[in-house]
């Protein structure tokens, strides 16, 4: 059943999300083609500006669309179908989390892709020295004495980045579910969005404070990755604050469990 849920969630969410990605791809291809012709400078400029605008759209719109999709599929009239399917609420939640994670990740991937494209084509054309400098940077990384540290840091940063997407998904689900339960359901249609913003801001503030001031870190050096609880000034390696991440992990897990509980025990489909 989980596979069928994921398939149908992808299909349903694609109707509202796929469009923005297809527009970005179409403009990207169109603009890339225009760079093959010197005479199409205006189109190159317009296409590049459109891509830069779209780079923000592919980051922000999926979050809003997922917020809306989650609410509509579970708490509007469609809930009459979703909640009468012979599936567990945790499976419904997991399916929507997988699908939301995939869409938001795709948005980030496109965001990065757009900037790589703009740097390569637009800035590279304006000043070819930029591309040379980038190549120098790659070479420099390649010849770093502590290249292993760099690679480990990149791996940890990417893992943390994926984790942050899951945190956002958990915040969306929890906020939208909470907004359908008394007393929050009296706020109105904007309730879910306001709760999401509130949860996001509070968690982000605590995350920053804990990361800065709590001495619990991952110390990455060429030899090893280890957990440290004290300052490591003067030691060759990189420190990544962990307290904030652990806080977010606990909160995200709590929000998924909380959302599942509310779906099972507290939601009344109107």
Contact present, 28 and 114 (Cβ < 8 Å): yes
Judged by CB under 8 A, which of 55, 73, 170, 260 binds other proteins?
Answer: 73
Segment 165 to 194, residues that bind other proteins, using CB under 8 A: 182
The nearer residue to other proteins, 88 or 120, going by C-beta atoms, is 88
DSSP symbols for 171-208: HHHHHHHHTTSTTGGGS-TTHHHHHHHHHHHHHHHHHH
Point out which span in 1-9, 34-42, 102-110, 226-234 binds other proteins (CB under 8 A). 1-9
Look at residue 5 and give its three-state secondary structure. helix
Q: Interface residues for other proteins in 183-242 (CB under 8 A)?
A: none
> Which residues, numbered 110-139, are part of the site for other proteins (CB under 8 A)?
none
Burial class (CB in 10 A: 0-12, 13-18, 19+), 110: buried
Please identify, among the stretches 4-12, 220-228, 233-241, 244-252, the one whose residues bind other proteins according to the rule CB under 8 A. Answer: 4-12
Name, in order, each residue with C-beta under 8 angstroms of 119's C-beta and a sequence gap of 6 or more: 130, 134
Give residues 30-69 in contact with other proteins (rule: CB under 8 A).
none
Nearest approach in angstroms of CB 11 to other proteins is 8
Nearer to other proteins, 6 or 243 (CB): 6
- For residue 78, the minimal CB distance to other proteins (Å) is 5
CA distance 54 to 59: 8
Binding residues with other proteins: total (CB under 8 A):
27
**Quick one: which of 195, 248, 235, 239 has its CA closest to 219?**
239
Total residues found in the chain within this entry? 270
Give the residue with the Cβ less far from other proteins, 86 or 145. Answer: 86
Q: Is 143 exposed, middle or buried (0-12, 13-18, 19+ CB in 10 A)?
A: exposed
- Work out whether 7 is an interface residue with other proteins (CB under 8 A): yes
Compute the distance between CA of residue 260 and CA of residue 264 in angstroms, rounded to an integer.
6
Q: Choose between 226 and 266: whose C-beta lies nearer to other proteins.
A: 266
What is the smallest separation between the CB atom of 84 and other proteins, expressed in angstroms?
Answer: 5
Looking only at residues 75 through 94 of this chain, which bind other proteins when binding is defined by CB under 8 A? 77-81, 83-88
Stretch that binds other proteins, among 10-18, 27-35, 106-114, 241-249 (CB under 8 A): 10-18
Q: Could you tell me which stretch among 40-48, 73-81, 127-135, 240-248 binds other proteins (CB under 8 A)?
A: 73-81
Question: Vertex 181, ends 180 and 187: CA angle to 5°?
Answer: 65
- Among 31, 59, 46, smallest CA distance to 168 is for 59
Closest contact distance (angstroms) between CB of 22 and other proteins is 16
Would you give the end-to-end CA distance of the chain in angstroms?
A: 26
Contact residues for other proteins (CB under 8 A)? 1, 4, 7-8, 11-12, 15, 72-73, 77-81, 83-88, 182, 264-269
């Amino acid at each position: 059943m989980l596979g069928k849920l994921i398939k149908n969630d992808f299909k349903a969410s694609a109707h509202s999300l796929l469009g923005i990605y297809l527009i970005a791809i179409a403009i990207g291809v169109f603009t890339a083609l225009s760079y093959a012709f010197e005479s199409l400078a205006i189109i190159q400029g317009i296409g590049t500006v459109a891509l830069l605008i779209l780079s923000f759209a592919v980051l922000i719109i999926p979050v809003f669309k997922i917020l809306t999709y989650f609410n509509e599929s579970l708490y509007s009239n469609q809930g009459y179908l979703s909640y009468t399917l012979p599936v567990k609420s945790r499976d419904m939640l997991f399916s929507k989390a997988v699908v939301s994670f995939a869409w938001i990740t795709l948005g980030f991937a496109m965001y990065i892709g757009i900037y790589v494209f703009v740097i390569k084509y637009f800035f590279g054309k304006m000043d070819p020295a930029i591309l040379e400098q980038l190549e120098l940077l790659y070479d420099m990384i390649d010849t770093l004495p502590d290249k292993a540290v760099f690679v480990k840091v990149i791996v940890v940063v990417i893992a943390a980045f994926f984790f942050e997407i899951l945190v956002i998904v958990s915040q969306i689900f929890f906020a939208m579910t909470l907004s359908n339960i008394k007393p929050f359901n009296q706020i109105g249609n904007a309730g879910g969005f306001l709760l999401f913003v509130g949860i996001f801001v509070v968690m982000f503030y605590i995350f920053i404070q804990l990361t800065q001031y709590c001495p619990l870190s991952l110390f990455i050096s060429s030899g090893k990755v280890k957990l440290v609880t004290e300052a490591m000034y003067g030691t060759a390696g990189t420190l990544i604050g962990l307290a904030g991440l652990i806080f977010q992990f606990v909160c995200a897990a709590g929000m998924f469990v909380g959302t599942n509980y509310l779906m099972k025990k507290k939601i009344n489909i109107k």
